Copies of this chain bind each other. A is one copy, B any other.
């Protein structure tokens, strides 16, 4: 698996392409409908830029489809590569979306958000692989292991669960920061005053503490008086008030399990 074609020149395509090229893989082509984006990435990877699916070569070993989730179905319909290995990089889309593309299909999903054009090491990026045969999955696992210290075999089903878990741990966490920031802005403060607390909270989890065991705050203490005061304080923000009540209830429930 030494010759690679990258389909999609967005953030994932860029970072995966740079990483593979840096590890000695030969990138043959970069496809993007946007020919200038294809050119730009292809130049960087010493590959050929293409903007039509008919121009895909059949000489590569691995075809990586790194396009947005909602474009994946459409792109899959355009790609037909016989027995070549075709993978997508999505956290949410089942492997089977690729079944018309090839006899050998799989997933190569990096569990990281990529942004900007600064190359980043994949060493600490969890890479989740899946293949439609044991042999292919083994090959993808080897590839993952050659890039990262954290390769995982993850079924489409488990990948969906990871994505859901990531929504809680990242998207919802960010929204908690957002509510916090809005509340503080009414006192002409912002969330930066909480930086040391935020840092500590996250640090504990990154160090491997079990989150429910390090839960603190009024709900964990079942301090009903404070809970009621806080809810009253949120009376003009009904959605946040409901979130306050529900998350507090959930903290109390989880303590009891």
**Number of interface residues, chain A, beta carbon within 8 A:** 80
A55 proximal to B (CB < 8 A): no
**Complex interface: chain B residues within 8 A of A180 (CB):** 165-166, 168-169, 211
**Complex interface: chain B residues within 8 A of A208 (CB):** 192
**CB atoms of B175 and A254 under 8 A apart:** yes
**CB atoms of B211 and A197 under 8 A apart:** no
Contact A165 to B191, CB < 8 A, known contacts A202-B202, A239-B249: yes
**CB atoms of B229 and A205 under 8 A apart:** no
Contact A92 to B170, CB < 8 A, known contacts A175-B215, A178-B254, A246-B239: no
Interface of A, secondary structure class, is helix
Name which residue of chain B comes closest to A201, CB basis: B170
Name which residue of chain B comes closest to A249, CB basis: B239
Q: Would you list which residues of chain A between 210 and 226 have a CB under 8 Å from chain B?
A: 210-212, 214-220, 226
29 A-B pairs in the complex with CB atoms less than 8 angstroms apart: A112-B196, A113-B200, A124-B195, A126-B195, A152-B189, A161-B183, A162-B193, A164-B233, A166-B197, A168-B244, A169-B177, A170-B216, A170-B217, A171-B218, A171-B219, A172-B247, A173-B173, A174-B204, A174-B205, A177-B205, A178-B211, A178-B215, A178-B254, A192-B208, A195-B206, A239-B249, A242-B246, A243-B243, A243-B246
Contact A174 to B239, CB < 8 A, known contacts A211-B181, A233-B164, A254-B182: no
A99 proximal to B (CB < 8 A): no
**Complex interface: chain B residues within 8 A of A214 (CB):** 174
A250 proximal to B (CB < 8 A): yes
**CB atoms of A174 and B111 under 8 A apart:** no
A54 proximal to B (CB < 8 A): no
Most buried by B among A175, A191, A226: A175
Expressed in whole angstroms, the Cα–Cα distance for A218 and B163 within the complex equals 10
Binding site for B on A (CB under 8 A): 92, 111-113, 124-126, 150, 152, 158, 160-162, 164-184, 186-187, 189, 191-202, 204-206, 208, 210-212, 214-220, 226, 229-230, 233-234, 239-240, 242-244, 246-247, 249-251, 253-254
Rank and list the top 6 A-B pairs by shortest CB-CB distance, nearest first. A171-B217, A178-B211, A169-B180, A177-B211, A165-B180, A168-B180
